[in-house]
Chain A
Amino acid sequence: MDTYQIFKIILGLIVSAFIVIFIVIFISNYGGLQTDTQKAKILSLFDKTATNVLLYGNDANFTEFKRMDYSAITFDPISETIITGSVSRKLTEPIFLYPGKTLYIHRGEADLGWWKFYFVEALPDTSIIFNVMDGDAWEQVIDIVTEMPSTTGETIKTRFGLCDGSTLQEDFCNDELCERDYFLQAIYGNEGMTFSRCRETILGEKYRLVFVSDSCTGINEGICIESSPDGVGYIYIDGNQHVYKDVADIIAMIVGYIKSDHFGVYGENLYTLKNEIFRERALFASQVLSSRAKILSSEMTINQCKQLFETLGEKLDEISNILSDEDYYKDIDSAIQFKQLSEEAGRTHREIVNMGCDYPI
């Protein structure tokens, strides 16, 4: 073998290695880019589907997450983004997502009397078990369940059941847990009935356990709602205390539940998302509606309506003041004050409607 042959072999090896490495790098970058593009498109499609549900109130199925690793989807409450790998999407609407292969998307609402806050729940197959230990709390349970999805006729199910001590009452709808409307019928007339504390060990991981009691002391599992007749109270998740003032606070916790990752407990993160967006939107709505009440007041020819619009404007200004504090929702007194003022504003608006000077919200 002469020097030329050896030179040819070495040069051939170098050139081949160079070409192979170059192609491998290019293909891996290109492949990675394609995968990320697909993930970004799926997240964008989810956001659009959920926003459509939010705008129109028509429920929808979402099955695109099965084309990616949905278990890698997580939520960052600081930047309000859903993240999967290197792809993220900022949520601009109150969308409570619990990742799953297939999801059922439903719109719920929190009626403040002067304004309605809409939110979206995106849930895979879910079973929620209530343990009602306060006989006066059934109405609160009804309020929560009413804003959750009715999945009759759908393939993705949200079901409800009751737990009493060591008995899981899951057989009162054809031997299985009930869907929303049947559950509401089944618990109708339960007022005053109290159940003993659920032994959570009888429940598997597939159930979400929600305690409703006048005191959550000593309950460190699942979610515990301290019942309150005025709709403002404490809710505990993973042993941490938070304030609730409407049904959306509670549903955010139930949807996220106790699943946790490096961003924290999912239920708490969704609760934070809800309250950040709620504060921003409610503040804006109160400012717009207060100014509206004032300009309509100046145009009214009926004195009673004029005065009622003025009162409504003042109430909404007070609500704006409370909402100006970013942390108002963490303080029970501010939450109570907000709730009371909202009820007063709602009452005033209903009077205006009854007088025929405005339309209902």
Chain B
Amino acid sequence: MKGQMELMEYLFLTVFVILIIIVLMFFITGWQVTQSGIERTKEVSDEVTFLMKKFSTMDYFVKEDGVFDDAKLTVLSSMENVCEELRPILGSNWFATITVFDESGSIKVCTESNYPDCNHWSFCKKENRDFVSRKLPVNIYRNTNRIGDSIFAKNDIGVLEVGFYEI
């Protein structure tokens, strides 16, 4: 009887030690998963900032850093597969819009047929998914601003919005 009791004691102790080790492992793994989650949130935020930097400096879009070229924007936003075309340069899971500041608030999407009488460009449609986005005031260089019969280029003020989807 005494031997059986000692054996049981011994088994309980062993099970208890194993249990502690397993709990410790779960704790470490859980902590690691939480850290990864925090890291991911930070990464998404960094990604948006980085994307915004790329967007406002790459010469496919701009005349010079922070000054968008309305003709380039019109050509790009009119492309059928612009998201696919830009994937090697800007990656995936993002969207962007640029809107000229207009007091009336009316939005006219730019296409090659209504250029330059328009004020909004959109790249990769905004989807109904969770995303993180940032907005930035930018200049938009209007190549063919008409005054009477003449053309004078000018800069307009606009807003760039760049968003990154949380996967």
Question: Footprint of B on A, CB under 8 Å?
Answer: 4, 7-8, 11, 15, 19, 22-23, 26, 30, 48, 51-52, 55-56, 92, 115-116, 280-281, 284-285, 288-289, 291-292, 295-296, 299-301, 358-359, 361
Q: Is the CB of B91 within 8 A of A92?
A: yes
* Cross-chain contact B21 with A296 (CB below 8 angstroms): no
Nearest CB on A from B144, distance (A): 4
Contact partners of A281 in chain B: CB under 8 A: 89
Q: Nearest A residue to B85 by beta-carbon distance?
A: A284
Residues of B within 8 Å of A30, CB to CB, are: 28
Given contacts A295-B74, A296-B71, contact A4 B21 (CB under 8 A): no
Q: Give Cα distance in the complex from A109 to B145, angstroms.
A: 32
Quick one: which of B25, B57, B63, B153 contacts A56, CB cutoff 8 A?
B57
**Cβ–Cβ contact A4 & B3, under 8 A:** yes
> Which residue of B is nearest A52, CB measured?
B53
Closest partner residue, chain A, to B36 (CB atom): A37
- Beta-carbon contact of A284 and B71 below 8 Å: no
Task: Tell me, rounded to whole Å, the shortest Cβ–Cβ distance linking B23 to chain A.
Answer: 13
B150 near A295 with CB under 8 A, answer no
Compute how far the CA of A92 lies from the CA of B86 in the bound complex, rounded to whole angstroms. Answer: 12
- Pairs of residues from A and B, 6 with the lowest C-beta to C-beta distance, nearest first: A299-B144, A291-B75, A292-B71, A55-B57, A4-B3, A15-B14
A19-B18, A295-B71, A300-B151 known; A359 vs B54 contact (CB < 8 Å):
no
Q: Which residues of A contact B17 (CB under 8 A)?
A: 19
B interface with A by C-beta (< 8 Å)? 3, 6-7, 10, 14, 17-18, 21, 25, 28, 50, 53-54, 57-60, 63, 65, 69, 71-72, 74-76, 78, 85, 88-89, 91, 112, 115-116, 141, 143-144, 149-151, 153
- What separation, in Å, do the CA atoms of A91 and B144 have in the docked complex? 38
Query: A285 — which chain B residues lie within 8 A by C-beta?
Result: 59-60
Add 11 more A-B contacts to A55-B54, A301-B149 (CB < 8 A): A7-B7, A11-B14, A15-B18, A19-B17, A56-B65, A92-B91, A291-B78, A292-B71, A295-B74, A295-B112, A301-B150
Q: Tell which of B54, B72, B150 touches A292, judged by Cβ atoms closer than 8 Å.
A: B72
Q: Are B7 and A8 in touch, CB under 8 angstroms?
A: yes
Q: Given the known A-B contacts A26-B25, A56-B57, are A296 and B144 also in contact in the complex, defined by CB atoms under 8 Å?
A: yes
| CA A292 to CA B14, docked complex, whole Å | 76
Q: Report the Cα distance A22→B17, complex, angstroms.
A: 13
Q: A288-B60, A295-B112, A301-B149 are in contact. Are A55 and B53 (CB under 8 A)?
A: yes
7 contacts between A and B (CB under 8 A): A4-B7, A11-B10, A92-B91, A285-B59, A288-B72, A295-B74, A300-B144
Inter-chain contacts of A299 with B (CB < 8 A): 115-116, 143-144, 151
- Kindly provide the distance from the CB of A254 to the nearest chain B CB, expressed in whole angstroms: 25
Asked whether A92 and B89 contact (CB < 8 A) given A55-B57, A301-B149, the answer is yes
Asked whether A359 lies within 8 Å of B71 as measured between CB atoms, the reply is no
Contacts of A22 in B (CB 8 A): 21
Which of B3, B75, B151 has the most CB atoms of chain A within a 10 A radius of its CB?
B75
Inside 8 A of B28's CB, which chain A residues have their CB?
30
**What residues of A have a CB within 8 angstroms of the CB of B75 in the complex?**
288, 291-292, 295
User: How many Å lie between the Cα of A289 and that of B62 in the bound state?
Assistant: 12
Nearest CB in chain B: distance from A65 CB, A: 21
Q: B54, B60, B69, B150: which contacts A284 (Cβ < 8 A)?
A: B60
Contact of A19 among B21, B74, B115 (CB under 8 A): B21
Min C-beta distance of B155 to chain A, whole Å:
12
Q: Which residues of B contact A92 (CB under 8 A)?
A: 88-89, 91
Q: For the complex, give the distance between the alpha carbons of A71 and B60 in Å.
A: 36
Q: Identify the closest chain A residue to B115 (Cβ).
A: A295
Q: Tell me how far the C-beta of B32 lies from the nearest C-beta in chain A, rounded to whole angstroms.
A: 8
Select from chain B the residue with minimum beta-carbon distance to A302.
B151
Tell me the minimal C-beta distance from B69 to chain A in angstroms: 8
Most B CB atoms within 10 A — which of A8, A23, A284?
Answer: A284
| A30 CA / B29 CA spacing, docked (Å) | 9
Give A229 to B93 CA distance when docked, in angstroms. Answer: 46
CA distance A289 to B72 in the complex (A): 7
Instruction: Give A14 Cβ to nearest chain B Cβ, in Å.
Output: 10
Contact A48 B89 (CB under 8 A): no
Complex: how many Å from CA A284 to CA B151?
28
